[in-house]
Amino acid sequence: MMKQVIYLSIRELANLIRNKEISPVDLANTFLERIENLGPSYNAVVSLTRDRAIKQARKAEEEILRGNYRGKLHGIPFGAKDLLATNGNIPTTWGAEPFRNQIFNYDATVIRNLEVAGAVLSAKLAMVELAGGMGYRQPNATFTGPGISPWGKGMAWSGGSSSGSGSAVGAGLVPFAIGSETWGSILGPANNCGVSGLRPTYGRVSRYGAMALCWTLDKLGPLCLNADDCGLVLEAIAGYDSNDPTTTRQKYQYDAGDGNSRKFRIGVIRDVAEGADEAVRKNFLESLKSLEDIATIEEINLPDLPYEAVTRTILFAEASSAFEDFIDSGKNMQLTAPEDRFGGYAGLTILAKDYIRALRIRGMIAKIVDQAFEDFDVLVGPSRPSVAPSIEGEFRSVIRAGAKDLMGAIGNGVGLPAISVPNGFSDAGLPTGIQFMGRAYAENTVLQIANSYQSLTKWHEYHPEQLA
């Protein structure tokens, strides 16, 4: 029975737990054993939090037996990207050698909210060092080794910077994981590992206790087996936090919706798949055909603005500022990837006037994109322009010249919610993804469309055969 729970959705696991067909302790032990045995194969795990997991699972089991059921996450194991502070003498390494033994005496708000929901922290998951804050050119930019996708016969990169979160969910090590995104760090691993990853609206989820990379771009969100699970997790972690003044006071309650109750309106930015891999373009066009059953689809033109340059300028300027003391200390020379040791210096040369200009243009972009959503529920595009690259190569050797990440630049620059869900495979058996991006705080609309798409296509039900 316990082996059969691997790759069950959160809803399915929750029903088994609530009906007392499986116990939270047995479930925790099943996933802990899987993390211990398979985690090293994917360079996915920094710390196995066994003691904490068993303690939380026993508490959940006792509460449920007494009739105190907290909800769908009660007794469900999960993993957390290792930039989230955790109490209990558990290291929080930020994926970087200089911080390998860093200890905090408190839990990040996201970790605390999941504990309140009854979820069971089973592992701290690997990441690109400093979430890519010093810049990186290759998958091995982390002291844990390159994140490996469960697809690609051990040679494909899981994506960054939430590498372990993507691998862990894709390999069935945990039912869900928490990642972070500044630009592509949730949607990228979701794409490469064949799972669903939700980037919430900026300010929807507290970042208190999370490593700061870019104050105006950082967001925390879930990676799960399907879009519905992402909604369940988001409801648990969203909300105002006085420790993070950027959080919204808007309350969030997940509404899965009924895909048959309405016709969605979808916009496709002209040339959004320009320069992408052939498999990415092919699967994206097939996805649009599938979506015609539930939506009207229309091409949209956006004004010619430096979308990517604006977000890149903000990212580099804020990241270098966040780590200025670290750079000045000389500890950057202890980073694993040689190029990372020097990448932060370039960001420190960005002029204040250029940063301010980027902020001003970002405001213009926000207005333009918000106007576009007057006519559309979501905008769609490929999650990434390429399938997962080899763990042995540099990124510039696999990214096609001219390939763009327009939606990533806009969505992260403005802080809009988006989800990546699987939409097929390349001839080499590597997954591709499609992303749905919505208006600020319109996570439910994004999730409802993603749920409807997944009910039509079933790509999210494919898992690596050798791991089932």
pLDDT in tens, the chain (468 residues): 566 899 999 999 999 999 999 999 999 999 999 999 999 999 999 999 999 999 999 999 999 999 999 999 999 999 999 999 999 999 999 999 999 999 999 999 999 999 999 999 999 999 999 999 888 888 989 999 999 999 999 999 999 999 999 999 999 999 999 999 999 999 999 999 999 999 999 999 999 999 999 999 999 999 999 999 999 999 999 999 999 999 999 999 999 987 666 799 999 999 999 999 999 999 999 999 999 999 999 999 999 999 999 999 999 999 999 999 999 999 999 999 888 888 788 788 889 999 999 999 999 999 999 999 999 999 999 999 999 999 998 876 555 545 679 999 999 999 999 999 999 999 999 999 999 999 999 999 999 999 999 999 999 999 997 665
Query: What 3-state DSSP class applies to 437?
Result: strand
pLDDT in the model for residue 468: 55
DSSP 22-53: S-HHHHHHHHHHHHHHHGGGGT-EEEE-HHHH
Quickly list DSSP for 255-280.
Answer: ----TTS--EEEEEETTTTTT--HHH
So which residues are the catalytic ones? Answer: 81, 161, 185
Q: Report the distance separating Cα 284 and Cα 231, nearest Å.
A: 23
The predicted model scores a pTM of: 0.97
Dihedrals φ, ψ of 379, to 5°?
-110, 145
pLDDT of residue 49: 98
**Is the separation of the CB atoms in 114 and 121 below 8 Å?**
yes
Domains of the chain: 3-262+384-467 (3.90.1300.10)
* Per-residue pLDDT at 393: 81
pLDDT of residue 394: 81
Q: How many whole angstroms separate alpha carbon 31 and alpha carbon 45?
A: 13
Note the pLDDT of residue 403. 63
Contact 186, 163 (CB under 8 A): no
- DSSP per-residue string spanning 89-132: T-B--TT-GGGTT-B-SS--HHHHHHHHTT-EEEEEE--SGGGG
Q: Which two tokens stand for residue 448?
A: 């409802």
Which residue from 284, 267, 268, 288 is spatially nearest to 276, judged by alpha carbons?
284
| Predicted local distance difference test score (pLDDT) of residue 398 | 54
Q: What does the alpha-carbon distance between residue 374 and residue 369 come to, in Å, rounded to a whole number?
A: 9
Give the CA radius of gyration of the chain: 21
Using DSSP bridges, classify how beta strands 219-224 and 264-269 pair: parallel, antiparallel or unpaired: unpaired
**Would you state the pLDDT for residue 343?**
79
Question: Could you report the per-residue pLDDT of 371-384, keeping only the tens digit for each?
Answer: 999 999 999 999 99
Q: Is 61 helix (H, G, I), strand (E, B) or coil?
A: helix
